Copies of this chain bind each other. A is one copy, B any other.
Amino acid sequence: MDKNKIIRIKDIAKLSGVSVGTVDRVIHERGKVSEVSKAKVEKVLKEINYTPNLLAKTLGSNKVFKIALLAPHLDEDPYWNLALSALGSTQKEWQPYHIEILPFYFELHNADSYHKESERLLACNPDAVISAPIYLPEALTFSKKLKVMNIPFIHFNTLITEADPLAFIGQDLYQSGRLAASLLNLVCHDQKGSLATLHIVQSIQHSIHFQDKENGFNDYCKALASPQKTTSILINAHTQELFEASLLKAINEFEVKGLFIPTSSGAKKTAEVLRNNHLKDIKIVGYDLIQDNIDLLRSGEIEFLINQSPNKQLYRGVYHLAHHLLFKNPPPKKELFPLEIITRENIDSYTCAQILNQ
């Protein structure tokens, strides 16, 4: 009657007339077991419903799993600073489960540094890896090595399908661009003029990333009942003065009424130019809840932000790897985050939630 009782390895051993050691060997296919004992154990296993106790398992095998993280150094860029802001609490959260997170930081604009850190990472022979594969060829080599070494890895932020990670965590960038377009059209409704995607060139590696967004943006505008003209502004300037001059020129040339800025850090520079030139009718849609952007949203200089939650991406990646290591739970191949729309009226609800949800 009392079938609710939890079945232990010991029970299986008794039922099949062998020792716990043998049962363990059969279940985990380790060591040598005679055909006959194996059959006995498997017969019992088939009849009952055995679920191993994971607490006992990780406690017993006194093993600490190492998850290595490869990401840009947080001092260089507010976006990556935000992304890694959750690292401390994530480490703390998993520590009780014998899971360690070891960060390796590379220089954001230095593919060589990426490669070097990935080598250092491998040297600590981790049980799993989570990385932001922002350098395509280097990331591919790295992925191949991980495959060979049979180390599971998850990518976040940047999608590289060829690398075939255990999972990808990020957003649908094309759709993100469409969303931006819809928002910009909403606030620039009946004025005439064009909507521009503004690329501020810092380094090349991001190009694909941003191209997807721009495609979505343009496609949306093109498909409107009354199509909205779009344009693309590319500025490669090293000083704010040069930037300002180039931007103003483009704005005049294309009669820009709204700007789509696909980088998180571009909005500030842009807003400054608009402010200095009293162009407050030009609307901005930007990305991410970095402090500068939050301030600009509050002051009304940015209309909308789209939140990529890079911190949550990391958090979820670790979550999936941890479950993979502890429970052998395979994560979904792709986890696409919601495209969060941030305005003056809901920004507070996001900044406060960010603290609370770790």
Question: Which A residues have a C-beta under 8 Å from some C-beta of B?
Answer: 51-56, 58-59, 95-98, 171-172, 175, 178-179, 182, 186-187, 189, 220, 316, 327, 332, 335-341, 343-346, 348-350, 352-353, 356-357
Contact = CB atoms under 8 A, between A and B. Distances in A.
A353 B169 CA distance: 11
16 contacts: A53-B96, A56-B59, A96-B327, A175-B345, A175-B349, A179-B345, A182-B343, A182-B344, A182-B345, A189-B189, A220-B345, A336-B349, A338-B353, A339-B349, A340-B340, A341-B341
Contacts of A327: 96
Given A51-B96, A186-B187, A353 B337 contact: yes
| 9 cross-chain pairs, A with B, having the tightest CB-CB distances, nearest first | A54-B96, A339-B346, A179-B345, A341-B341, A55-B59, A339-B349, A182-B345, A338-B349, A55-B55
A96 B57 CA distance: 10
Contacts of A172: 348-349
A103 to B, nearest CB: 16
Contacts of A336: 349, 352-353, 356
Given A220-B345, A335-B356, 19 more contacts: A53-B59, A53-B96, A55-B97, A175-B349, A182-B344, A186-B186, A189-B189, A332-B356, A335-B357, A336-B349, A336-B352, A337-B349, A338-B346, A338-B353, A339-B345, A339-B346, A339-B349, A340-B340, A341-B346
